[in-house]
Amino acid sequence: MSWNSALPLLVLASSLFPGGVIFFLSEERVVTRTVLNLAGATLKLLLVGVMIWGVFHGEPYESRLPLLPGLDLVLRADALSLLFVTLSAVLWLATTVYAIGYLEGSPNRSRFFGFFSLCVTATIGVALSGNLLTFLLFYELLTLTTYPLIVHRETEVARRAGRIYLTYTLAGGALLMVGTLWLYTLSGTLAFTAQGFLSTLASSEQSTLIMIFVLLMMGLGVKAALIPLHGWLPQAMVAPAPVSALLHAVAVVKAGAFGIIRVVYDVYGIQFAATLGVTLPLAVVAAVTIIYGSLRALFQDDLKRRLAFSTVSQVAYIILGVAIVGPIAAIGGLVHLVHQGVMKITLFFCAGNIAETLGIHKISDMNGVGQRLPWTMAAFTIAALGMIGLPPLAGFISKWYLGLGALEAGQGWVVIVLACSSLLNAAYFLPILYAAWFKPPPERWPAERSFGRQETAWPLLAPPLVTALLTVVIGLLASAPFSPLQWVHFITTSEYLP
Amino acid sequence: MTLLPLIFDGVLGFTLLWLAWQLLGSPDLFRAIVLFIAFGLLMALIWVRLDAPDVALAEAAIGAGLTGALLLAALARLGPPSETASLDNQGDRASVAEGGGLPFRRWLVALHLVLACGLGYAVMSLPSAAPGLSDAVANSLALSGVSNPVTAVLLNFRAYDTLLEMGVLLLALLAVWSLGSTPDAPPDDQPVGGVLALLARLLTPLLLLVAGYLLWVGGRAPGGAFQAGSVLGAAGVLLVLAGWRLGRRFAQLPLRIMLVAGLVLFMAVGLFVMLVGGDFLTYPHASAGGLILLIEAAATLSIGMILAALFLGIRPDSRADQ
Amino acid sequence: MSVLIFSIHWQVMVVLLPLAGAIACFLWPRRGVMLALVCALGTTLSVAGLSWLVVVEGAQRYTVGGWGAPLGIDLYVDGLSLLMLIVTSVVGVAISVYANGYFERSRARAFWPLWLFLWGALNALFLSADIFNLYITLELLGLAAVTLVALAKGAQPLSSAMRYLLVTLLGSLLFLLGVALLYHSSGSVDIAILAERLSASPVVWIALGLMVVGLLLKTALFPLHFWLPQAHASAPAPVSALLSALVVKASFYILIRLWLEIFPPNNFVLGQLLGLLGAAALLWGNLQALRQTRLKMLIAYSTVAQLGYLFLAFPLANIIGWTGALYMLLSHAIAKAAMFMAAGNILRFGGHDSIADLDRIVQRLPLTVTTFALAGVSIMGLPPSGGFVAKWLLLEAAIRSAQWWWGVVLVLGGLLSAVWIFKVVGYAFTPSPVPHEVRAVPASMEWSALALALTAIALGLFSSWPLALMMVGLPFGEGGGS
Amino acid sequence: MAIDEVVSILLLLAGAVFFFAGTLGLLRFPDIYTRLHALTKADNVGLGLMVAGLALQAESAAAVGKLMVIWLLVLLAGGSVAHLVAAAARRRGIVPWKR
Amino acid sequence: MTFFLFFALVGIGLFTLGLYAVIVHPHLLRKILAVNVMGSGVFLLLVALAKRSDSVDPVPHAMVITGIVVAISATALAVILMLRVKGETGRVKLPETPQE
């Protein structure tokens, strides 16, 4: 096995192996566990760095294992998959640090970190999948590995949330499987190919292909939390904060969104999908989701629930970008995959800090938090402003390209949707900022913990600060080489080549 | 004179059906079992009519005799007959009620009638000439080492069946011994009449003699290991009834060795001829007769012991343990 | 080396070794464990030898007694029977290790010879090419299985064993009646010769109908499953495992053999009927499983459901469908054995198997809960697992033969089973109001179960080898099926 | 028709009569003891007559011997079994029938 | 109709009667008897049909002898189970409906 074909496997193994070992560690061996976690995360980052360099210079990275007759398990690194892999690897490192601080002293940490690593492995697998079957495999694996994280608290509420989560995702997985298999019986291949592999099929199959598209979108839309399949996401908020961060920013919702990108671009091909007439309905669904999610977010008093509905809305941007047939909009959508991830994880880290340090869960209790937790709230503010789309932060870049792309593709209504959404974003984020910074703090916080001179424990503080910094940096340096935006440009040139 | 056998067969067949009807329907279980024994004897007669004397012997000894004894002993251990009979009747009525009452039964009867008619039609539609294996058996009989075709089939042509069947018998014994520790074990120290002991003492040597004869003659005439074994088993049952038990030392490993001797020797011979160079159980033609007799002798012993042990129903050394 | 391998008559070894082991355990009960484990190993090695022989030289016909059919009895090994033998060995070894920890001394004395007898019967059954011989192996199998069920303590197991005995005897007699009719219409009981001589006549249809009903009774296809949940749930855990994993599959194996070899080709209606019953079993079994409050009862009902999958291949009737059903059989056997063993561990640990009182067992028996979950993954048919491959193949067969409604059933069944599996897993994560006394579980019991569960997962990653093995000797025909 | 054939047929018929009577007794007599009495008496004698009748028609001395052995065995078994049944009935407390 | 066909039909009758009795009668001893009757029916069919040709076919005879031995083995097991059921539950029949 050559280096190039081993590399994707190694990237997987760098989190799979620590995960497997951690399961068998006893609770008390904190140091071993921490070292394993951090070493795995760092190694993964390094390997991904190597792959980015290689792919940029045209190196092929591909591993194959026979899985079913005629179908292999294919792990392949191309530009698109690396976008997602990099996001996951960076944010995993941040989340691991955060989780170590967050769960300090709580029970069942070995189990938690074991599944945490497996969950990342599944996400990386989703990103590296070279065909739809491999994608399906890791997609289902993701479902299974996130379930123990959601029910981690072992409470009745957690169990209920877990059940709802499973009901949605397993049903979605089944639809995805049916769609995949049906596609396979028609085309005889499932390998992701730039510009798709279905356009050569006979035109008599078109109605079947539309049906399959609907099946696949329903299967993927569950995880991407498209309306009306988003019901599980707010429920899953009972999970510990690092899990929420991971679910929302990286793993689950992004896996769904990423799957939709893959299907539209590399299975159907964007041009063929447009001729089938399936892109416009998808864009409409995404637009509805954007508005609906924002509206719901407006009326939540629970901070994590508000963030959850905000996720519903923001992930739909990505899909909207894909569904507007045009290269510039595509850039906007794809880059939002990264930008939203970085911003949203910052917000969840901060929400976790506020809950962990002060015992505050409700927005109405947040008066004056900024005075007690200035650094945390600073990070929160940056991310929130980014979400609203304030230049020069990350969110602005995505929205700018989206709007531009819509106009270029002659879909003016999208701009209105974007404008509405931005207004709504402002409406549900700005009151929080106002309350935290400008309202007087209460006499006592509900459940305050003291951390000496610092406002909170450093593993809890460092990750949000870093990701907030990233939000600024990727916005400011959007035109630097290897920035997400430039990388997305690189991707779209291959997808939109005539 | 061709009418007489016809009437005879007709009476035989209808009586058999009538007996079956009676024994399955009579409220008194004791009566049912006695009728079952009569049923077995009648079956034996039919086997003779159908030119199957080997089957007749096996049926009379095993089907009627030993099965009947087994069932009677079981009935005795179930408790007073009046009680079980009334329980049985209650159960009958209850089951009818729960099963949906009369309509359920009516449907069931209709279903069975359809089944019987279908089967009858199937049998009648068979070609009139049997495509059996009688010619094939006759052609190979000279090579089989015996001249009784049934024995040839049992111990040579389809010896593998018989080997597995010995396994079934041993398995049944294993099962009975594993489960046989009933909490209400029957009182073994029932006073046994001197007459029974006398009968046992008189009959046992005779039965041994008959068993030996059946074994010996099985190669060329009706008889063989199963028939001889079941006669031996009958002797064992008689001894058990007369209160005779194996000595404690003998009831352990030596007894077990005798119980498995038939199967072990069968397998050993099969493997031996395989080592000599054929397939499993392929006897060399010259020594086939001797090998078959060897297997049959051991099988007779084991079958007899197993049948008697099945009747006894518990491990002979189990009382020694307690 | 290879000379040695080809000169040994592995077919005979595969049958005789367990039987000899059973006899040895019977003679020297005190050394039962050692003898049985040696025997399990020997049998497994023999199966390995046989596999090598078959893979290298193709399907094998063996004439016991040197006479050959129709006079004598033939043994026949092709990919299909080899697969069954291998499953039996894999599950058999795991169960032997497990049972070593499970049974106390007095019941171990009864268990080992009975279990080896059962193993021998299974191997003999999978090798036989003669329908009367199959009847005897069926009886051997049935009697051993019934006795093993009755080894559990209490009234419930005895009643279930009695019902099971009556059912299995009834099934055998129906089968034997069919054998009698077939013999008298063709003059042979060898499957290959029957396949040549039989044509679609009323007698043949009636005979086959009787045999099918008898076998369905033993396989417990809905609605003839009434005896199974009780018997499988109340048996001792290793016995439950081998009943669900192997014993019900044996009669299914005969059915599939008869169907492929001697059924007249125009059996569309019967195929659809079997598929319909399978679908009903799938839905009914899973729904009943959901209603159960006891873990072993739940798993037993899931067996009823999973057996339904196997029958979906009959209406599809193409090679992909058959391989899918067989792959399902394979992965279900392994996963379900693991699951029953896990349930046995839980039962031993807390002294009960009430699902609502699992009481955070995930912290205290993590290996066992992992076993249950991994086995559950295969049973749900999620990737990567044997169950997924099987479901993929079945679904592909359904789509390719344009019978999409079977696909709907397949997907629905998988989702329903997910519901109960996660119900159990969920309870394993929650504390129960009442604390329970606990008893330690031997490591051998936990690890043997986990090993099987991992095998079930591995079947999803390395499916090409078993799938290739199945095709040795082309048991499903050459073309796209009838 | 030779004289031995006539005698044989007569003996067989006589045996049949005894069997008939014995069976009638078994069905009609009031209690177990009297039924046993009817059965064993009639059957033993009836079988004896039958054996005698058949012995006249037998082809060899060996066949005659076999017939005699059958009769003796049945006598032995029948007598003992009747005794055992009666003893068992007594033990259960079944009182003999009185007019 | 020839006499062996008649006996074959009698065999079918026995089989059907036995089957009916197994289903209908709750008492276990009766069920055991019924299974035995069913078995006899099958055996009768097997041997009777072998009489169709003039030369006797010994293969069914051997099969029936095998079957008889299997039948007594099964009966012995059934009897011991029945006694155990009686010992544990005090009744000689199965509980009517399995617990759901």
Residues of C numbered 143-162 whose beta carbons fall under 8 angstroms of chain B's beta carbons: which are they? 143-144, 146-147, 150-151
The token pair at C154 is 């209490």
Residues of B in contact with C147 (CB under 8 A): 171, 174-175, 178-179
Domain borders along chain D are 3-91
The token pair at C345 is 């561990």
Give the pairing of strands C60-64 and A71-77.
unpaired
Residue C87: which of C244, C277, C295 has the closest Cα? C244
> Are C65 and B174 inside 8 Å of each other by CB?
no
Look at phi and psi of residue A269 and say left if phi exceeds 0, alpha if psi is from -120 to 50, else beta: left
- Residue with the larger pLDDT of the pair C395 and B78: C395
- pLDDT, position B99: 45
Judge whether C128 and C87 are in contact, CB under 8 Å: no
**B-C contacts (CB, under 8 Å):** 146
State the DSSP code for B1.
-
**B226 at interface of E, judged by CB pairs closer than 8 A:** yes
Beta-bridge partner residues of B281: none
Question: Does the residue E94 lie in any domain?
Answer: no
Please check the confidence at residue B94 and state whether its pLDDT lies above 80. no
Q: Rounded to an integer, what distance in angstroms lies between the CA atom of residue A435 and that of residue C111?
A: 73
Within 10 angstroms of residue C125's Cβ, the number of other Cβ atoms is 24
Residues of C in contact with E92 (CB under 8 A): none
Look at phi and psi of residue C431 and say left if phi exceeds 0, alpha if psi is from -120 to 50, else beta: beta
Give how far C373 is from chain A: nearest CA, Å: 10
CA dihedral A488, A493, A494, A496 (to 10 degrees): 110
Percentage of residues of chain B with pLDDT beyond 90: 44
Q: Which residue of B has its CA nearest to D81?
A: B196
- Residues of the domain holding B219: 148-322
Judge whether C218 and C171 are in contact, CB under 8 Å: yes
Please check the confidence at residue B84 and state whether its pLDDT lies above 70. no
Reported as type and span, the H/E element at residue C63 is strand C60-64
String of DSSP letters for C134-166: HHHHHHHHHHHHHHHHHTSSSHHHHHHHHHHHH
pLDDT tens-digit readout, C198-220: 888 889 999 999 999 999 999 99
**C184 at interface of E, judged by CB pairs closer than 8 A:** yes
Q: What average pLDDT does the segment B297-318 reach?
A: 87
Question: Does the residue B298 lie in any domain?
Answer: yes
- pLDDT, position C453: 95
- pLDDT, position C208: 93
**C161 at interface of E, judged by CB pairs closer than 8 A:** yes
- Sequence letter at residue A125: G
Residues of A numbered 64-93 whose beta carbons fall under 8 angstroms of chain C's beta carbons: which are they? 65-69, 73
Helix axes A484-495, A79-102, angle to 10 degrees: 150
Q: What average pLDDT does the segment B119-141 reach?
A: 86
**B39 at interface of E, judged by CB pairs closer than 8 A:** yes
Residue D36 main-chain phi, psi, to 5 deg: -60, -45
- pLDDT, position C177: 96
- pLDDT, position C2: 58
Task: Select from C135, C169, C301 the residue whose CB has the most chain E CBs within 10 Å, as the one to mutate to test that interface.
Answer: C169
- pLDDT, position C386: 92
Helix axes A327-358, A79-102, angle to 10 degrees: 10
Alpha carbon separation from A290 to A154, A235, A329, A422, C245 (Å, rounded) = 33, 19, 16, 10, 50
Residues of D in contact with B213 (CB under 8 A): none
Beta-bridge partner residues of A68: A71
Alpha carbon separation from C422 to A102, A116, C415 (Å, rounded) = 27, 19, 11
- pLDDT, position D40: 83
Give how far B282 is from chain E: nearest CA, Å: 18
Q: What average pLDDT does the segment E55-84 reach?
A: 93
Residues of C in contact with B175 (CB under 8 A): 114, 143-144, 146-147
Q: Which residue of E has its CA nearest to B60?
A: E68
Cβ neighbours of residue B120 under 8 Å, at least 6 residues apart? Answer: E9, E12
Give how far B199 is from chain D: nearest CA, Å: 7
The token pair at B297 is 């002798």
Q: Rounded to an integer, what distance in angstroms lies between the CA atom of residue A180 and that of residue A199?
A: 16
Q: Which residue of B43, B98, B310 is in closest CB contact with E76?
A: B310
pLDDT tens-digit readout, B31-75: 899 899 999 999 999 999 899 999 999 999 888 889 999 999 888
Residues of A in contact with C366 (CB under 8 A): 23, 111
**C66 at interface of B, judged by CB pairs closer than 8 A:** yes
Q: Which residue of E has its CA nearest to C165?
A: E78
Task: Select from B199, B202, B209, B238 the residue whose CB has the most chain D CBs within 10 Å, as the one to mutate to test that interface.
Answer: B199
Cβ neighbours of residue A443 under 8 Å, at least 6 residues apart? Answer: none
Residues of B in contact with D84 (CB under 8 A): 193, 195-196
The token pair at A400 is 């700018």
**E47 at interface of B, judged by CB pairs closer than 8 A:** yes
Burial class of residue A250, CB neighbours in 10 A (0-12, 13-18, 19+): buried
Beta-bridge partner residues of C60: C77
Residues of C in contact with B280 (CB under 8 A): 9, 11-12, 62, 64-65
- pLDDT, position D35: 84
Q: Residue B218: pLDDT band by 50, 70, 90 thresholds?
A: confident
Beta-bridge partner residues of A63: A75
Reported as type and span, the H/E element at residue A406 is helix A394-408
Residues of B in contact with E73 (CB under 8 A): 168-169, 171-172, 310
Residue A187: which of A71, A275, A74, A282 has the closest Cα? A71
Q: Residue B162: pLDDT band by 50, 70, 90 thresholds?
A: very high
- pLDDT, position E90: 82
Q: Residue B96: pLDDT band by 50, 70, 90 thresholds?
A: very low
Asked whether A and B share 3 or more beta-carbon pairs under 8 angstroms, the answer is: no
Residue A101: which of A463, A468, A470, A466 has the closest Cα? A463
Residues of B in contact with E10 (CB under 8 A): 13, 16-17
Structural domain count of chain E: 1
> Are A182 and C399 inside 8 Å of each other by CB?
yes
Residues of chain C scoring pLDDT < 70: 1-6, 433-436, 478-482
> Are C137 and B164 inside 8 Å of each other by CB?
yes
Q: Is the peptide bond before C70 cis (omega within 30 degrees of 0)?
A: yes
pLDDT, mean over chain B: 84
**C62 at interface of B, judged by CB pairs closer than 8 A:** yes
**E94 at interface of C, judged by CB pairs closer than 8 A:** yes
- pLDDT, position D1: 65
Task: Select from A24, A137, A168, A180 the residue whose CB has the most chain C CBs within 10 Å, as the one to mutate to test that interface.
Answer: A137
Residues of C in contact with E95 (CB under 8 A): 159
Q: Which residue of A has its CA nearest to C374?
A: A144
Q: Residue B181: pLDDT band by 50, 70, 90 thresholds?
A: low
C407-C413-C415 Cα angle (round to 5) = 105
| Gyration radius from chain C CA atoms | 21
- Is residue B50 classed as helix, strand or coil in its secondary structure? coil
Residues of C in contact with A66 (CB under 8 A): 463-464
Q: Which residue of B193, B196, B199 is in closest CB contact with D76?
A: B199
Give how far A210 is from chain C: nearest CA, Å: 16
Look at phi and psi of residue B224 and say left if phi exceeds 0, alpha if psi is from -120 to 50, else beta: left
* Helix residue ranges, H only, C292-352: 295-311, 313-316, 319-350
Alpha carbon separation from C468 to A68, B253, C79, C83, C384 (Å, rounded) = 11, 48, 8, 10, 19
**A166 at interface of C, judged by CB pairs closer than 8 A:** yes
- pLDDT, position A496: 65
Question: Does the residue B170 lie in any domain?
Answer: yes
> Are B199 and D87 inside 8 Å of each other by CB?
no
Please check the confidence at residue B187 and state whether its pLDDT lies above 70. no
Task: Select from B2, B6, B14, B16 the residue whose CB has the most chain E CBs within 10 Å, as the one to mutate to test that interface.
Answer: B16
Residues of C in contact with A158 (CB under 8 A): 429
* Helix residue ranges, H only, A57-155: 79-102, 109-128, 132-150
Cβ neighbours of residue C346 under 8 Å, at least 6 residues apart? Answer: C295, C353, C358, C361, C365, C368
- pLDDT, position C51: 93
Residues of chain A scoring pLDDT < 50: 498
Residue B21: which of E4, E3, E20 has the closest Cα? E20
Structural domain count of chain B: 1
Spell out the long-range contacts of B252-256 with Cβ–Cβ below 8 A and sequence spacing 24 or more. B252/B317, B253/C27, B253/C28, B255/B305, B255/B316, B255/B317, B256/C26, B256/C27
pLDDT tens-digit readout, B232-266: 999 999 888 887 777 777 778 889 999 999 999 99
Q: Rounded to an integer, what distance in angstroms lies between the CA atom of residue C356 and that of residue C351?
A: 14
Q: Rounded to an integer, what distance in angstroms lies between the CA atom of residue E86 and that of residue E80?
A: 10
- pLDDT, position B83: 47
Give how far C76 is from chain A: nearest CA, Å: 27
Residues of B numbered 149-208 whose beta carbons fall under 8 angstroms of chain E's beta carbons: which are they? 149-150, 152-154, 157-158, 161-162, 165, 168-169, 171-173, 175-176, 179-180, 182-184
Look at phi and psi of residue A77 and say left if phi exceeds 0, alpha if psi is from -120 to 50, else beta: beta
Name the one residue in this structure whose structure tokens are 């077919």: C11
Name the one residue in this structure whose structure tokens are 């009430």: C354
Residue C396: which of C280, C312, C271 has the closest Cα? C312
pLDDT tens-digit readout, B279-289: 898 898 888 99
CATH number, position E37:
1.10.287.3510
- Is residue C351 classed as helix, strand or coil in its secondary structure? coil
The token pair at C61 is 């016909």
Judge whether A178 and C407 are in contact, CB under 8 Å: yes
Domain borders along chain C are 272-482
Confidence (pTM): 0.90
